[in-house]
Amino acid sequence: MQYATHTSRMINDECGVFGVWAPEQDVAQMTYFGLYALQHRGQQSAGIATSDGSSILVYKDLGLVSQVFNDQNLSVLRGHMALGHVRYSTTGADVWENAQPTIGNSPDGGTMALAHNGNLTNTDKLRSWVDSLRSSSGDHARGASTDTAVLTALFGASQELCPHPTEADSGYIPPMVRAALRILPHAVGAFSLVFMDENTLCAARDRHGIRPLVLGHLERGWCVTSETAALDIIGATYVRDIEPGEVISISSDGIQSFRFAQATPHGCIFEYVYLARPDTKIAGHSMIHARTKMGAALARTHPVDADLVIATPDSGTPAAIGYSQESGIVFSQGIVKNAYVGRTFIQPSQMMRKRGIRLKLNPIKEVIEGKRLVVVDDSIVRGNTQRAVVKMLREAGAKEVHVRISSPPVKWPCFFGIDFPTRAELISAAMDVEEVRRSIDADSLGFLSVDDMVQTTAQARDHLCTACFTGKYPMPIPAGTPVPGSPGMVTYAPAAGEDTSVHPATHQEGIAFFDDKHFERRDTDSHKNRHKSTTVLPSVQLQEPDCEREPKGGYSECDDHAPLGTLQSQDSNDDQDLVHNSSSIKRKALT
């Protein structure tokens, strides 16, 4: 697997997902607006799949939602249901083949599309099962290297890999749900999924509910998405969160709910701190309200005599307002953010590289000159941005600069879909608070405690994943798991005597603690890290691959060569567009 390198402080969640079932409505346009609301969750690629009941069309490309889609290509995406995806790569290279939705065979011989938010930790083992298949198709066969492509291939081969009937097989279950009930108990890590075949839209969430996923109601339909903000933009009403360990189906038969695992909630607390939009609700609780409370708690625990509270825009603004309200110190805009600078930007000279932060942030001298400032931000990762901000404010005439962070020190990597750097790059992993203060040249520095942060979420502490702050992971991390965010292949290595076995039926009870000794550089080639075992779930056995035997069962491969109109190529970028239907896969320019 490959991992993105980083040139800025920005922390990224892996993806945002959206799905809608709404007959006689423009589902492609609704999905476009939903993805627009989720753009902050992924800025590297975007894609939409639609179904009209007989075929599935997929259009995806690298770029922002507004760059990938226009009226012309959206008009081609017709049907009664759709799903969409925005991606930021923490697993798999940033190439067109890894854009989502992924496509493949559905369990009943049709076509399926799948969108995934999260990160699996046992991808190598799942990939070995895919590689054992007699045949393969879909994005995995065409070179996609993501855990999402592996999941898609497993769904299509669920009958072959899980030949034994499940307890749920006694009555009628939509084919996609049946596949999910067979495959998802074996997927370890974080996943919020939206997937569909020609007739049924489905959504599922891992047993820990690490990444958010909500259900909404339209006047004439239903939708599922990563954040409630996407419901607001299309006029949908929030119904409830998809529960951890639950899979739902939406079709002309209505909504059905099934359970593939017992819920053991561990929602990501960093969604509350930074990742989710401020106007989103998670588990019924407002993000902007939680972040304002974080700022207020910070003012109580780390007060300072100052003239002005300002935020590092935009993520620090709600907490800065809370700090101001609690402390009585006036809040003002002291830094302007350039809204047109994205995750990365061109730095044309050595001079600009040194002062590149000013392309994104610039102090307002008239506001801050001669003032004692409290500067509030949501987190410190490497420390580069805070160091540059403090320097800018001093150059602009600030008398004192006191930095306040509305979360605890980030000390540990995330294996579940956030691209935190490795521990070697996390400033708080190697330094205590005073050392960090000196490093960023602040007059004082204060972090919010874990307990105070948890209290603002209105969630029980044992229902949240706080691993990036505490090193306490909600499940064991298998040895050899690549560390997301690492510029090289840094992997987890267990301490002597540590149990790293992962059993899908029971792993939710395990807790892993890491320290510096537990990470090493090693070859992460999937073939070299495979090991053989057989995992047994109640009433379901997943067949372990055996290179010396011919896999049993039938796996119908999509026909990659059936005709699909005229292949048009006007320029070198045309082959970045994909149109796919149930009988064929072709690259085609939508003109």
String of DSSP letters for 510-575 = --EE--GGGEEE----TTTT------EETTEEPPPP-TTSPPPS--PPP-TTS--S----SSTTGG
Peptide bond into 305 cis (omega under 30): no
Instruction: Name the 3-class secondary structure at 50.
Output: strand
Residue 53 has phi, psi (to 5 degrees) of 100, -20
Residue 7 has phi, psi (to 5 degrees) of -120, 5
Instruction: Name the 3-class secondary structure at 584.
Output: strand
Residue 517 has phi, psi (to 5 degrees) of -70, -15
β-bridge mates for residue 404, sequence order: 376, 446
Cα distances from 503 to residues 186, 188, 395, 561, in angstroms, run 8, 9, 56, 40
Residue 414 annotated in active site:
no
* Beta strands at 335-337 and 361-363: parallel, antiparallel or unpaired: antiparallel
**How is residue 270 written in tokens?**
């960093």
**Minimal CA–CA distance to 311: which of 277, 335, 289, 291?**
335
| CB-based contact 119:84 (threshold 8 Å) | no
- Among 15, 223, 414, 465, the one annotated catalytic: 15
Dihedral sign computed on CA atoms, order 237, 240, 245, 248: negative
Q: What is the CB-side half-sphere exposure of residue 587 using CA atoms within 13 A?
A: 14
| CB-based contact 558:138 (threshold 8 Å) | yes
Measured CA angle at 120 (ends 162, 64), to 5 deg: 120
* CA pair distance 568, 301, nearest whole angstrom: 64
| CB-based contact 176:155 (threshold 8 Å) | yes
Report the catalytic residues.
15
